[in-house]
Structure 1
Amino acid sequence: MNKQNKHLPNFTQAISQLIALPSISSSQASWDQSNQAVINLLSAWFETLGFTITIQAVPGVKGKYNMLAKLGSGHGGLLLAGHSDTVPFDENRWLSDPLQINHKDDKLFGLGTCDMKGFFAFILQACQQLDIALLKKPLYVLATADEETTMAGARFFADSDMIKPDVAVIGEPTNLVPVIMHKGHMSHKISIKGQAGHSSKPANGINAIEIMHQVISELFKLREKLNLSYQNEAFDVQTPTMNLGAIHGGDNANRICGHCELDIDMRSLPGMKDQELVSWLSKALQPIAEKYPARLTITELDPSSPSFQQTPESELVLTAEKFSGHSCCAVNYATEAPFIQQLGCQTIVMGPGSIDQAHQPNEYLADSEIIKTEQLLAQLIQHYCF
């Protein structure tokens, strides 16, 4: 059995080095960054441990890469997966440097500590304790790109059909509770093209805000219909949701509004198809589109992420419940799980830290998570690979 490898960092050193390498994913080009430095660091670490490394350039997104590390040979095995990017941050809202680990009050503060660069630091420590000669099935480590925006890395990896593990664990922050179900997510922009004019002569223009008012009324009706028709008691928010997130229109009080845009998101329950939601949205707004020809358009903001569900009686779920000491649950947010599940493996989401800390200033990972996570990963690797 291996001791701490003198060429590799311990847990605190590893998470510090990962946090220090910015890898922000953002739909705003001024914030968006490459994750190449993080991928290169992870590759070097796992290659030192004897893993075979494959790096994929993710098409359609500049400077974004996936890394697959493989230890052992044969079929099946365990995949430990996560994303290498983080959300943007407002440094003025942080009490410490987001890109430097600050160990205070029994917590490790830093951008990505729980969501989710810290998971890779845990994997690195667990792998240093393996007796590689006794491996019976392969162990895979996957680091993806752009989870926080397009999920382009996970989408591309799922389509590449490189591996077929028996089981996969995605280490998003769940307080080590096995997550077996989550909602889907899609976002759309509804645009209204009006006709500007002087406000003193309303009949000479077409007010885009007034048309958008009609649109919003129909969206409320659709939301109510979905809430009455679909429920799942596994979720704390038991219905599909629709959020009216941003609206922009007009330029001055004395002008007829010539253009208005509304950004919405919808979160589907497992069993609901993305194309069904899009169809319902289009049908709800069709009467308005016909009333105002060529003035209403619906466009996708980001590629949709489907809902996810793993059978509660699956062997992986039962094993994860046993090892973690927690019963499985459902969550409202979206992850890469539906794409990883496309590999044909039993899939769960389970990792250290709380989702309440994710995407927040002063994100942290509690010290109390460290020993529990190391033990859980060791049990999973032993169970599925030895």
Structure 2
Amino acid sequence: MTVPSFMEMYQQLIASPSISALESSLNLSNKGVIELLAKWCESLGFQVEVSELQNNPGKYNLIAKRGEGDGGLMLAGHTDTVPFDDSRWNYDPFKLSQQDNKLFGLGSIDMKGFFAFVLNAISELETSKQTAPIIILATADEETTMAGAQEIAKHPTLRPARCIIGEPTDMVPVFTHKGHMTSAIRITGRSGHSSDPERGLNAIEIMHEVIAKLLQLREELKNKYSVPHFAIPYPTLNLGHIHGGDSANRICGCCELHIDMRPLPGLSVNVLQAMLSDAVAPINARFPNSVSVVDMHEPIPAFTGSTDAALVQLAEKLSGETAISVNYCTEAPFIQQLGCETIVMGPGSINQAHQPDEYLSMEKITPSQTVIKQLIAHSCFEVNE
């Protein structure tokens, strides 16, 4: 049972485009990456299940399992990448390029490269000494809707005891993180000629009042909720994008604002949605049906873990790093619904994620390989301490 070398797997994964985007012109299938992983997993003796997402044609999840029964360790990652701006890249995003002791490529650390680490580690462990199931999970559309992970959360028979999600953390275990909500606030006014303001209803002016309410809500969140584990200990609310009107001499009939909110563990998405609705309710009462709030994607809840969990303690011991919390979000809250102890931990730095010339520092390869191999061995193999 063999797989290509570590670098060969890395090269082939990067060379298979798998962009996910809400814009259909940029959105690509991840089928090529899934087919590579399926072939390599099968060569290592895994039983492979590939499924097309129910509501996303051309997007696929993969579950590969070696070993019988429930329990064991699942190693999980997403197969998609963000879009890229070709004018800002100095390297071909779909070619693994080595320069200045760095490996450049789209997905090199976020996060297709993780699968090369995992498969390389498994190939070096003696199959006859495996004592618990090993599962490899590869999901679709993490960078947009997390639809792949949400489908996995409903899987009827997938029951690992532990899961490591290999997002780039520089091999520091992450035991908890914030959630993510993106909402569109749409103002519907009444357009008309600017020379007669009373005959219209200016959506920009209403949005001005809405923004004032949102800034009040932001302060309320900051003062009311806090979790000290986080560098930014309160829920955040960001005004990210706004567009309204079409001409200086017309009363603006429509204005839309996109906001980003990051809920803390213990603060449910439903509560935040209710607070947002309550904030704009007085304006809707004055201007009936003028303000609507729409989720731009399924809200992602916060991930709540514990530093007392056995997997966290094992990861801390093997990496020599203390588990931390982070402000970004991952598929962890959905994977956790399978009932497994879950951490986020993988090679590469989050500082390079979603950046032009994304790269993995080559001096991190061997230490990362060592820790990943040890995590798998301690969870699924006979280990001589």
User: TM-score, normalization: structure 2?
Assistant: 0.98
Deviation of the 1:351 alpha carbon: 0.2
Greater shift after overlay, 155-164 or 141-150?
155-164
Aligned match for 1:163, one of 151, 158, 182: 158
CA apart distance, 1:381: 1.3
> 1:207, 1:256 within 8 Å by CA — same for their partners in 2?
yes
1:139 Cα deviation from its structure 2 partner: 0.4
Among 42, 45, 52, the alignment partner of 2:40 is 45
Aligned to 1:214: 209
**Partner residue, 2:309:** 314
Structure 2 residue identity aligned to 1:214: E
Percent of aligned positions that are identical = 52
Distance in 1, matches of 2:211 and 2:231, equals 26
SS in 1 for 2:350: coil
Matched, 1:230 2:225: yes
Tell me the SS of whatever aligns to 1:234. coil
2:129 matched to 1:123? no
Which residue number in structure 2 is paired with residue 147 of structure 1? 142
RMSD over aligned Cα atoms:
0.9
Equivalent residue in structure 2 for 1:285, among 255, 262, 280 = 280
Equivalent AA in structure 2 for residue 171 of structure 1: G
**How do residues 345-356 of structure 1 correspond to structure 2 at under 5 angstroms?**
345-356=340-351
Output aligned runs, 1:1-386, within 5 Å: 5=2, 8-386=3-381
In the TM superposition, what is the alpha-carbon distance from 1:305 to its structure 2 partner? 0.6
Runs of 4+ in 1 over 2 A off after TM superposition: none
- For 1:151 and 1:330, the matched residues in 2 are separated by 20
The one-letter amino acid paired with 1:247 is I
Q: For residue 164 of structure 2, give the secondary structure of its aligned residue in structure 1.
A: strand
| Residue 57 of structure 1, CA deviation | 1.0
Partners of 2:96 and 2:209 in 1: CA distance: 50
Letter in 1 for 2:294: T
Q: CA deviation at 1:349?
A: 0.1
- Once the two structures are superposed, residues 304-350 of structure 1 have per-residue CA deviations (whole angstroms, 9 ceiling, x without a partner) of 11100111111111100000110000111010000111110100000
1:384 & 1:116 partners in 2: Cα distance? 22
Offset at residue 370 of structure 1 (A): 1.0
SS of aligned partner of 1:365:
strand
Q: Deviations over 1:341-381 (max 9, x none)?
A: 11101000000000000000000011112111211111111
Distance (whole Å) between structure 2 residues aligned to residue 94 and residue 273 of structure 1: 39
Asked if 2 retains the 8 angstrom alpha-carbon contact of 1:55 and 1:68, the reply is yes
Moved more, 169-178 or 367-376: 367-376
Unmatched 5+ residue regions in structure 1? none
Give deviations 1:239-266, integer Å, cap 9, x for gaps.
1000111101011111111110111111
Task: Find the aligned partners of 2:120 and 2:133 in 1 and give their Cα distance.
Answer: 17
5+ long unaligned stretches in structure 2: none
Whole-Å separation in 2 of the counterparts to 1:358 and 1:199: 46
Structure 2 letter corresponding to 1:153: G
Write the deviation string for residues 197-229 of structure 1: whole angstroms up to 9, x where unpaired.
Answer: 111111111100000000000000111011000
The separation in 1 between residues aligned to 2:306 and 2:89, in whole angstroms, is 40
TM norm structure 1: 0.97
Q: Is the 8 A contact 1:110 1:363 kept in 2?
A: yes
C-alpha distance in structure 2 between counterparts of 1:296 and 1:315, whole Å: 48
Superimposed CA distance per residue, residues 55-108 of structure 1 (whole angstroms, 9 cap, x where no aligned partner): 111111120000011111233100000000000001110111010011011110
Q: Secondary structure at 1:154's aligned position in 2?
A: helix
- 2-structure distance, mates of 1:221, 1:272: 18
SS at match of 1:69: strand
Residue 160 of structure 2 aligns to a residue whose secondary structure is: coil
Matched residues in 1 for 2:364 and 2:61: separation? 27
Structure 1 residue 160 displacement after superposition: 1.4
What displacement does 1:145 show?
A: 0.3
1:96-137, CA deviations, whole angstroms, 9 ceiling, x for partnerless residues? 101001101111000000000110001111111121122111
